[in-house]
């Protein structure tokens, strides 16, 4: 499932995957959680989906929530920081944090 319109750079030229060669994937594990990912380069959500409505992109940081499914981000550079917070009000023994995968 791809985008209908190419993603655009800040100067409105089409962006290609060579400019954002890395992928970060957040995989929900059935427990509500919040995440914050900071990149030291440029990034963007790979494909908008229902859970992306809860993702806030600001500067070099993406914040979002996930319970199930996946959220993917394409990026250049490195992942500078990842924070995961249990937002489900569940006991720590019953919480399974989302998994984070980085592909370059």
Please, what's the b/e burial string for 75-92 (b: 16 or more CB within 10 A of its CB; e: otherwise)? Answer: beeebeeeebebeeeeee
Confidence of residue 6 (pLDDT cuts 50, 70, 90): very low
Question: At 2, is the pLDDT very low, low, confident or very high (cuts 50, 70, 90)?
Answer: very low
- Please give the average per-residue pLDDT across 5-24, as a whole number: 66
Stretch 50-78: mean pLDDT, rounded?
Answer: 83
Please indicate, yes or no, whether the overall pTM of this predicted structure exceeds 0.85. no
Segments making up each domain of the chain, as ranges = 22-88
**Confidence (pLDDT) at 91:** 61
């Amino acid at each position: 499932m791809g985008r209908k319109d190419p993603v655009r750079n800040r100067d409105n030229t089409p962006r290609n995957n060579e400019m954002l060669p890395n992928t970060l994937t957040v995989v929900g594990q059935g427990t509500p959680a919040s995440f914050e990912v900071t990149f030291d380069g440029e990034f963007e959500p790979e494909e908008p989906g229902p859970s992306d409505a809860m993702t806030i992109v600001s500067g070099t940081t993406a914040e979002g929530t996930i319970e199930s499914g996946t959220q993917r981000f394409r990026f250049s550079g490195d992942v500078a920081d990842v924070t995961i917070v249990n937002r489900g009000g569940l006991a720590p023994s019953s919480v399974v944090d989302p998994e984070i995968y980085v592909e370059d």
